[in-house]
Chains A and B, each alone.
Chain A
């Protein structure tokens, strides 16, 4: 019995996607919050808080895509093919967001409002379709002869649309609490006032998903509610309540890092809840990580590179966040 390579790759890709969700989550969240903050200077400050780091965040998504193809080619192929339209919309949203991010700094005054709108729309579309893809992924795909049963629009269900909105709200929360950490003064207090309703909306969405998925998927219900799983997994919802309470507490007075750290924990809990629901499938409801795995020769070869380079990337990422620590004030963008 050797090393369980598919399991290791599941962890690596799971980690990569989580890094992506958390890090691109807060900078997409800033675009989602844009409509609520109309002032030119405030918007510049908001964008400046993520300017140094956002494109590094996005690279995790490229790594996730290539990693999924290398380690679980069947899941990569079937899933992306079934989700052609939402995947295309997600990529289009990300391209718009990325380009408008840069161009709004370089555009003249007459064109800045256009790039602001493009930035909002790109952020919203990218976040929404990430949620749609997540929802469609959880809904499951019946695979026959390497193709999913259904048509080009099968991904469009009430649940996937709801999941799309849920991710938009989750990213808005990450964005808002990140801004509480990175800004001060009037802007910070305005963002603070928005955080509470966003948090409550996210909690409502989490509750609805937690009821919706077990009610529609017997396997997910069994995973959570059968004994002794109930005892093992009960801490997850309990910790959700704890972190939500902690966010509300930390919003009192002059908050700093507290709301953001607790929001990260909250999002991480939601993410682990999803992993618990689908484990060990990489293509719910019935294709496991071992069924979809590439041959060991592929997994082993790619693993060497991943283990050599990912630690370096993590160290560099940590360093660059350290370099850019502290509050961003109006006008002192690094541009």
Chain B
């Protein structure tokens, strides 16, 4: 009857994880591309170099498709708290609800007011007003992210509320929003969005370079992306470290699970386990390769400092260490590769071989999806690491879930998985197709200024005129 013998709780979590994993890819790229577009337009206005304008038109098409995918996949999210997490919504809807309302209003406002001008306003408004609209869109995407992350961070480190008659009552909204993990999570996520976008843009440039497309716009985007990676990769590692220390303070069990750390030996520092297999039953991490005292050094900034081990928490309060341990290592490992890419790019630039180094372009191409994979892995660390709590210390996930049968949830999950893979698979394929077309020269006759001149403001996707497949006629 049930899908692979998962419990109803597992299935509800898988469904939420699946839909939100699909969703988060699009807003992350939206945030990064919006900022990139604002920079491109600003540079174009400042330096009066049309290469920036060519890149703006090229990336705004991809931005439009990506934005539309984000809106469609977000529709489900607004209702899933109710359909799948009924008891959570009854308990904490008083906090999550208003924060989501602000997010929707911000997104609505942004879409209504400035996105139309940004995508369709060329030739209709002046240059500076258009630039203003682009900057507002970029700002708006970040404000949207702020509300969502405030809501999520409150679930991780709740404060500013009282529980009255079994329901959360917000008593201090400033405290609710600016809860302890919020600044770190926001900084980590926004930087992740920038980094993931830079890697995506860099890979697009690399793809064209490898095919011998060496026009100025291609070189420019490859160069800009690698500058961005050079600066944001180390910044992100630094922010991530601070976020980790914040987590150690507020959610020590999550850090213990991340480190696969079960117990302390008196007087000894904690080693950093590079690889290993945490075993929840055996309460040990097997086959481990470790560096002595390194975890102490990173997390307590002293050689012999200790962090709580998983055994200090009751078994029912421990997050699933194997998943969290490996998700973290995927994220951190990719982060190191990003740092390496940034440094390698800087070295190639110094040697004046930025566009000539085959190894660098191939490396940049393969790193294209790495930012998004790292974002997903990072979210798995923070969300699965929060378990067994849905609101940390206040409500357990098993008490939050709606009382659906595994059968009902299996049907729902099958519908969603089939639909998402098909629809968003097509959407992503379409985006990649646009990337492959490459930036068009403004001087070629086929390139109008943005979408066709007569076009009036409309939906994001109508800013793009390219067909979905290359075949023009049915056979």
- Please give the residue numbers on chain A whose beta carbons come within 8 Å of chain B beta carbons, in ascending order: 51-52, 54-56, 58-59, 61-63, 65-71, 73-74, 76-81, 83-85, 87-89, 91-92, 94-96, 98-99, 102-103, 105-111, 146-147, 152, 294-295, 297-298, 301-302, 305-306, 309-310, 312-313, 316-317, 320, 323-324, 334-335
Does A302 contact B97, Cβ atoms closer than 8 Å?
yes
Q: A317: which B residues are within 8 A, CB to CB?
A: 112
Give complex CA distance A298, B405 in Å.
32
A–B complex contacts, Cβ < 8 Å, 19 sampled: A55-B459, A61-B78, A63-B104, A65-B82, A66-B103, A69-B81, A69-B82, A80-B83, A84-B83, A84-B402, A84-B412, A85-B408, A98-B72, A99-B427, A110-B473, A294-B93, A305-B98, A309-B106, A324-B456
Q: Which residue of B lies closest to A84 (CB)?
A: B83
Answer yes or no: B76 CB below 8 A from chain A CBs: yes
Give complex CA distance A49, B83 in Å.
34
Answer yes or no: B74 CB below 8 A from chain A CBs: yes
Q: Taking the nearest CB of chain B, how far is it from the CB of A255, in angstroms?
A: 26
Q: Interface size (B, Cβ < 8 Å)?
A: 80
Contacts between chains A and B (CB distance < 8 A), count: 235
Q: Which residue of B lies closest to A153 (CB)?
A: B408
Give complex CA distance A316, B110 in Å.
11
Give complex CA distance A92, B254 in Å.
35
Answer yes or no: B68 CB below 8 A from chain A CBs: yes
Does B72 contact A99, Cβ atoms closer than 8 Å?
yes
Q: A310: which B residues are within 8 A, CB to CB?
A: 105
Answer yes or no: B369 CB below 8 A from chain A CBs: no
Chain B 61-77 against A: per-residue CB contact (8 Å), 1 yes, 0 no? 00000001001101110
With A70-B97, A152-B404 as given contacts, are A108 and B456 in contact (CB-CB < 8 Å)? no
B404 CB contact (under 8 Å) in A51, A78, A84:
A84
A334 CB contact (under 8 Å) in B111, B458, B471:
B458
Q: Counting chain A CB atoms within 10 Å of each CB, which of B86, B100, B464 scores highest?
A: B86
Given A55-B71, A84-B402, A298-B97, 15 extra CB contacts under 8 A:
A61-B75, A67-B97, A69-B100, A70-B101, A88-B416, A106-B468, A107-B469, A108-B473, A111-B469, A147-B403, A295-B164, A301-B170, A312-B109, A316-B112, A335-B465
Does B405 contact A152, Cβ atoms closer than 8 Å?
yes
Does B89 contact A69, Cβ atoms closer than 8 Å?
yes
Give complex CA distance A140, B102 in Å.
30
Chain B 381-403 against A: per-residue CB contact (8 Å), 1 yes, 0 no? 00000000000000000000011
Main secondary structure of the interface of A (DSSP, over half): helix
Q: A88: which B residues are within 8 A, CB to CB?
A: 83, 412, 415-416
| Chain B, 148-203, CB within 8 A of any chain A CB | 164, 167, 169-171, 173
Q: Counting chain A CB atoms within 10 Å of each CB, which of B85, B112, B404, B412 scores highest?
A: B112
Answer yes or no: B432 CB below 8 A from chain A CBs: no
The 3 closest A-B pairs by CB, nearest first: A73-B93, A80-B82, A70-B97
Does A294 contact B94, Cβ atoms closer than 8 Å?
yes
Does B89 contact A76, Cβ atoms closer than 8 Å?
yes
Does B112 contact A298, Cβ atoms closer than 8 Å?
no
